[in-house]
Amino acid sequence: MTSPFDPSPAPPPECPAHAGSGALGEFGPGGLRRIYGPAHEKDPMGLYEKLRAEHGPVAPVLLNEDVPAWLVLGHSENLHMTRTPSLYSRDSRRWRLLQDGTVTMTNPLAPIFVHQPICVFQDGAEHERQRGAITDSIARIDHRGVRRFINRFSNRLVNDFCEDGHADLVSRFAEHLPMMVMCQIIGMPEEYDEKLVQAARDLIKGTETAIASNEYVMAALYRLVARRRAEPQEDFATWVVEHPAALTDDEVAQHLRLVLIAAFETTANLIANVLRMVLTDPRFRAQLSGGHMTLPEAVEQTLWDEPPFTNILGRWAAGDSELGGQKIKAGDALLIGIAAANTDPVVRPDPHASMQGNRAHLAFSGGPHECPGQDIGRAIADTGVDALLMRLPDLQLACEEDELRWQSALMSRHLIELPVSFAPRPQQEVSGPTAPTPRGEPRQDWQVGTPPRNVPQQAAAAGPMPVPAPAAPQPGGSVQQPGPVPPAPPSEPPAAVVPGQRRGSAPVRMWRKLASWWRGY
């Protein structure tokens, strides 16, 4: 088996590696397939299936500038890799090609592989300390309140184009809603603008401008950290700044970038993909309109079929090992192949089968580095799509499905445009506060360590729990102890409105009344 880390002879003249000579072809040095460039952008899933057929569940590939790495295609192999940090570390400083100078800081992927003082590049106790600050702060967000201001932001966006009768839902809705929501949650609504949206999307693409885009985003976040050190507020940035883990200003800013970019890119792609499938896939129309699938279940199906991140760089081998029949050497780079793993025939023999009720996909990775904010992303997607469909129930795709264009990068694949048409409607008044309310205080006894034996494993895995605020003194000097706080009732989504797929609009009055009653606004 060809190794991507050993010198290889030039391929013979009849080898397809010579295809595209003089241009960026599908094959690079040693006959290895590139997972960047035109071939990958045109049909990434087709390329992953070729790699699976040629190499099995783990394949040698070339990254930007023909840097060799391993792409893990198998579902179980990805789970093993993400759940075994002792063998496959998140510390990119282990990368042998980085140590010997083969990979430099000028590589377009530098913003996503250069070691930073954040939890995704750490293992062990340091990972627990830093991630604890993030999971504790996420736990303080009132998710029910978040859904209310997601709905308001969605309606504000719809107001911008509802009178036109047509719109591109990628640039006018999907790309903006997650950034609006995340800027509000983090505490920087004044920084939200088109430039921030485009910089956030650009910095993970591996483009020539990715480094400059990263610097633009980081400048905004460093300004935010400085403001919150001086003037604390009830927002995510303040909670991270004040967390007992005592993160430095640089650690706080880098973690805010992680949260902002991960949530923005994944959720923007997820919203666009859900809308595309609802507009074009007859399975979704039949199931949603028949009452057999809720909108959150449609979101989950989309996470299987079109995960927001296709690959994640990466893991770095802590020592020699074997994975999927390949000999992995210490210092090798590996990629989590999310999209490929979700279509692994071992776990999904029929790629067209419904995955309703099955959350075994790897859309949010796995193991100790699994995305801690995935529920926020789901909330933005299903609440935002629901608000859009409620306002414009007669949405129809304004082009043929095969005319839709995609853009693929190493980590993600997203729709360039999603043109739709609908009957023009007047704007609606959108009022009320948009900021979410906090939920509890962070743990004051926060520490790194294993959970006590009497704590259920599932509860421990969910992260540290907030402690209640001290009881307030009562008249006469007595202190009234707070009673148990009943759990909030589950917030189930309303029934979804299904837009027309090149058909006439459906009655929506009953759905609006039902949704308003259900949500309480």
pLDDT, mean of each 10-residue run, the chain (521 residues) = 46 40 76 91 91 97 95 97 96 95 89 88 94 95 87 95 97 94 92 87 78 91 96 95 96 93 90 92 67 77 91 94 97 96 92 81 91 90 93 93 88 91 94 53 39 36 36 38 41 40 39 43 40
Strands (E), 301-370: 311-317, 321-323, 326-328, 333-337
In this prediction the pTM is 0.76
* Residue 384 CB-density burial (10 A; 0-12 exposed, 13-18 middle, 19+ buried): buried
What are φ and ψ of residue 279, in 5° steps?
-80, -25
Predicted pLDDT of residue 294: 76
Distances (CA, A) of 376 to 145, 266, 389: 11, 11, 20
pLDDT at 281: 79
Count Cβ atoms below 10 Å from residue 422 Cβ, excluding itself: 21
How many other CB atoms are found less than 10 A from the CB of residue 32? 23
| CATH fold for domain 118-305+362-421 | Cytochrome p450 (1.10.630)
Find how far residue 216's CA is from the centre of its chain.
21
Residues 26 and 34 sit within 8 Å (Cβ to Cβ): yes
What pLDDT is recorded for position 273? 93
Both tokens assigned to 351: 């790629």
By the 8 A CB rule, do 463 and 139 touch? yes
Please list, in sequence order, all residues whose beta carbon lies within 8 angstroms of the beta carbon of residue 499, skipping any fewer than 6 positions away: 278, 279, 389, 392, 393, 394, 395, 396, 422
The reported pLDDT for the residue numbered 236 is 95
Cβ(58)–Cβ(323) under 8 Å? yes
Q: What is the pLDDT of residue 385?
A: 94
- The pLDDT value given to residue 432: 62
Are 78 and 314 within 8 A, CB to CB? no
Return the pLDDT at 467. 35
3-class DSSP state of 193: coil
In three-state secondary structure terms, 208 is coil
Torsion angle (degrees, nearest 10) of CA 213, 214, 216, 218? 170
3-class DSSP assignment, residue 421: strand
pLDDT number for residue 291: 62
Q: Give the model confidence (pLDDT) of 307-334 as tens digits.
A: 988 999 989 999 999 999 999 999 999 9
Tell me if 363 sits within 8 A of 337, measured CB to CB.
Answer: no
> Which residue's entry shows tokens 């025939």?
345
